[in-house]
Structure 1
Amino acid sequence: MKVLLPILLVISTLSLLAQDLPDSRKQEIVIRNVNVIPMDREQVLPNQVVIIKDGRISLIGDARTVKYGAGALVIDGTGKYLMPGLAEMHAHVPPIDNIEPMKEVVLLFALKGVTTIRGMLGHPRHLELRSKLQSGEIIGPRLYTSGPSINGQTANTAATAEKMVRDQKAAGYDFLKLHPGLTVDNFNVIVKTAKEVQIPFAGHVSYAVGVWRAIDAGYASIDHMDGFVESLIPGIESMTEQQVGLFAVFTGHQADTTRIPKLVNALRDKHIWVAPTQALAERWLSPEKTPEALSQEPEMIYMAPNTLNGWVNTKKSLMSNPNYNPANVQRYVEVRRKLIKACQKAGVGILLGSDAPQVFDVPGFSLHHELTYMVKAGLTPYEALRTGTVNPATFFKRDDAGVIKPGAVADLVLVNGNPLQDINAVKNIEGVSLAGRWLSREYIEQELKKLEKK
């Protein structure tokens, strides 16, 4: 059975209450003289005024003509670019009974411009967290959460599989998270019951199930491109899961890329969304950077030392496996890039996600890396930005999110530089609008300082 990815989460005693931040929800927020990237098409609207009221965009117009109230909170956007907030579509929140440590994780996402997260390993307290984020009691992104993991151990009989689906629907989770190890029979029960009670399912593709059965079953999204590379390898039927490796890391260099069109066309025709989490491949699985080099990257200061040590040891363990051949693994990473590009070209819906916090993926920071990996795979900066803005909004069936227009939710990021020209501009954040609040650069820097691990 495929080993579950180690969810190495940040545990902290930080307790940040909403009242620590000046409450801008009671006044208009005005961003003036700003370049707007509305994301409805590839364009920049120069010298605009954007007015936010009650957490929504009330007006967008030419800075020379738009008027606003004297009591407004005014932000000078001169020379800056305003874009929709990003969605981390494969996020993790500590699956524990104490809600306090969760606050640090969701705050870190928000401080880096992530205004929506899809939690991919649920816990009963996440339902409470979702409510408190929605009300503004806790500062952080909008949360869509799965239920607890449905895998080969938790759903080891047809009866337990059916019960888990029904119980999670009744509890109010947004979707089901499937993990590895499911048998075909139990998988079929999960699918049948999920469709009966009308709850989506997403996540991993169990090795015994395979990607073709997963596509036919109607996943809401297949994450990590799990099963994709495996489906391209001739003779994989005679290989064990251990020989193939996690996401086919040991054998992916054998992939027959002429099979890619058949796969991506099936994904498109069955309306299966894909969350590649390419950061896992480029940072954890790839030999390009050593564990020691990754551990010294600036954002690692926000991770607890024991977590960071665990990440280093996890990558070292992978690279010391007798089946790990650096040249072969790098070719495998390139196969994944080809799959991402082929999905984009074929019209498969791509969702931005990095699996943070996960091996060398720090919340928020890793999503910026994921954007660069999307561009590295062949997407334009605009196409890459869509995977974290327009596409998630479409996935969640929301026409009031992912774009900048009157009436849309004001989940916005103000950046220094045009990300349509250089995707790395998303890293240089001047401010974040989230749930009616304005998180200024000063506030962001102050809170990031508090989050540093000594």
Structure 2
Amino acid sequence: MNHYLSLFLCAIALTTASAQSPVSNADREIVFKSVNVIPMDRETVLRDQTVVIKNGKITALGDDSKVRVDKGALIVDAKGKYLTPGWSEMHAHVPAVDDLAPMKEVLMLYLVNGITTIRGMLGNAKHLELREKVRSGEILGPNFYTTGPAFSGQTVKTAARGIEMVKEEKAAGYDYLKLLPGLTKETFPGIAKTSAELGIPMVGHVSFAVGVWAAIDAGYSTIDHLDGFVEAITPGIDTLAEQETGLFSSWTAYSADTSKIPKLIKALKEKNIRVVPTQAIAERWLSPSPANDYANDPDLKYMKPEDVKNWMNAKNTYNNNPKFSKEHAEAFVNIRRKLILACQKGGVQLLLGCDAPQVLNVPGFATHHEMKYLTDAGLTPYEALKTGTVNVAEYLKKMDSGVVKIGNVSDLVLLNGNPLEDIGQTKNIEGVMIGTKWLPKTYLQSELKKLEKR
């Protein structure tokens, strides 16, 4: 029996045996044969490559004829398919409960969608336990980073309490501080100062009373949702109460002055503040479309019926508000698109994030919507893909990730189509690699079936 026939027969046996379960590369190689590699360190496709994975690392990558493969390797026939780095979701939500079961479900929704890193944006002590179980391999899920309990108008009543909370969360071992609305000019400065002193970054919302200029000066690590951006370019915003402006200034965006955008972009760039747009919120929940447009969305079957009902009610409440008009909602979506494109062109690094589970945004699936919305804003597919790969690797200082190359971690997605030509191909997943585990399509499909709620 020749060498290649032996490999072929081995591949058949191993693929059949592992159809419904992850395959580990800790003890043997997993090899993608004849695959088209999208390395992401440049906009190109490396055709007909062999990529070898072992112990969670890419150990070889090259022309099929030049790469040696172990006899016991699992061969994945990837002819005509595309291998790309796994994506990161930088504004995820994991249930903040005492039970790990619902947390594991959300992690799996992300993972089956090719998302190999997430940043949980509303944490508690159980998330610290979850993080360790994911790192140890006890729980299968994306690489997990977490904020602590949120800083808001409800949790921070005094400047002293804000400072104390920063110290508590740093000592507990959280990765970031999550800021919610409701902070004031009295409570915010102490949080910001202590955050800088202790080296635990601030991320999330910009409180209306604080404003984006103070947030930039304070050195946020990431500003999420473009929060405060529309207010910063809207004349007369200081004469309005927060409740008059709407969520993310959705009621007043129609009067924004786009000539003020360059000043905002320059300030963000100078402070090296990253931006997590969560445009999926605007394009779905806060869009001019009626709730009925989303009633048959196939993603919703992974959410509990009561959650879907609440989402539909929230969408209807927004559309039925006396301040709502189709024209103003369209203006809101469009001004956000302009801001996103200005960030991209102005050198402000965008990080992929969609804020799921949130109204009409299902974990994992919504991240694919987000990439499409980034291209709708004017980014190329390559630029949109960078927001969840290269940009995140740089942000997290994980320089062995975000790019497909020898020595890098094997957090990868195998696709059936080329996302550089059609960003919608990110949803066309054939399999996912997370560290030492290969999750073939049959496994992904079986896990999704388990997660259906209705």
TM bucket by the smaller chain? over 0.9
Query: Secondary structure of 2:301's partner?
Result: helix
1:18-167 counterparts in 2 under 5 A?
21-167=22-168
After superposition, give the CA deviation of every residue in 1:319-350 in whole Å (9 maximum; x if it has no partner).
11111112111111100000000000000000
Deviating more after overlay: 81-90 vs 324-333: 324-333
Structure 2 counterpart of 1:443? 443
Amino acid at match of 1:153: Q
Structure 2 counterpart of 1:418? 418
Give percent identity, aligned residues only: 56
**Where do 5+ consecutive residues of structure 2 fail to align?**
1-19
CA distance in 2, matches of 1:133, 1:226: 31
Q: Is the 8 A contact 2:150 2:178 kept in 1?
A: yes
CA distance in 1, matches of 2:451, 2:202: 34
Amino acid at match of 2:397: K
Q: Offset of 1:185 from its aligned partner?
A: 1.6
Q: Is the 8 A contact 1:430 1:440 kept in 2?
A: yes
Amino acid at match of 2:130: L
CA distance in 1, matches of 2:21, 2:100: 18
Structure 2 counterpart of 1:388? 388
Structure 2 counterpart of 1:365? 365
Pairwise CA RMSD of aligned residues? 1.0
Q: Offset of 1:62 from its aligned partner?
A: 0.7
The count of aligned residue pairs is: 435
Q: Is the 8 A contact 1:413 1:431 kept in 2?
A: yes
Structure 1 counterpart of 2:212? 211
Query: Secondary structure of 1:149's partner?
Result: coil
Q: Offset of 1:25 from its aligned partner?
A: 3.1
TM-score by length of 2: 0.94
Q: Is the 8 A contact 1:295 1:360 kept in 2?
A: no
- Is 1:301 the equivalent of 2:301? yes
Query: Secondary structure of 1:439's partner?
Result: strand
Query: Secondary structure of 2:26's partner?
Result: helix
Structure 2 counterpart of 1:15? none
Q: Is the 8 A contact 1:389 1:402 kept in 2?
A: yes
CA distance in 1, matches of 2:185, 2:145: 27
Q: Is the 8 A contact 1:280 1:355 kept in 2?
A: yes
Structure 2 counterpart of 1:4? none
Structure 2 counterpart of 1:249? 250
After superposition, give the CA deviation of every residue in 1:57-97 in whole Å (9 maximum; x if it has no partner).
11111111211111111111100000000000100000111
CA distance in 1, matches of 2:281, 2:143: 24
CA distance in 2, matches of 1:338, 1:258: 11
Say which one has the larger Rg: 2
Query: Secondary structure of 1:39's partner?
Result: coil
1:347-358 counterparts in 2 under 5 A?
347-358=347-358
Q: Is the 8 A contact 2:90 2:352 kept in 1?
A: yes
CA distance in 2, matches of 1:400, 1:393: 8
Amino acid at match of 2:87: L
Structure 2 counterpart of 1:329? 329
Amino acid at match of 1:201: M
Query: Secondary structure of 2:31's partner?
Result: strand
TM-score by length of 1: 0.94
Q: Offset of 1:292 from its aligned partner?
A: 2.3
Structure 1 counterpart of 2:6? none
CA distance in 2, matches of 1:399, 1:198: 20
Structure 1 counterpart of 2:7? none
Q: Is the 8 A contact 2:25 2:54 kept in 1?
A: no
CA distance in 1, matches of 2:287, 2:161: 37
Q: Offset of 1:295 from its aligned partner?
A: 2.8
Q: Is the 8 A contact 2:25 2:55 kept in 1?
A: no
Q: Is the 8 A contact 1:157 1:186 kept in 2?
A: yes
CA distance in 2, matches of 1:140, 1:111: 9
Q: Is the 8 A contact 1:351 1:392 kept in 2?
A: yes
After superposition, give the CA deviation of every residue in 1:188-209 in whole Å (9 maximum; x if it has no partner).
0001111111111110000000
Query: Secondary structure of 1:140's partner?
Result: coil
Q: Is the 8 A contact 1:136 1:435 kept in 2?
A: no
Q: Offset of 1:101 from its aligned partner?
A: 1.1
The list of structure 1 runs, each at least 4 consecutive aligned residues, that deviate by more than 2 angstroms after superposition, is 19-26
Query: Secondary structure of 1:400's partner?
Result: coil
**Where do 5+ consecutive residues of structure 1 fail to align?**
1-18
Query: Secondary structure of 1:266's partner?
Result: helix
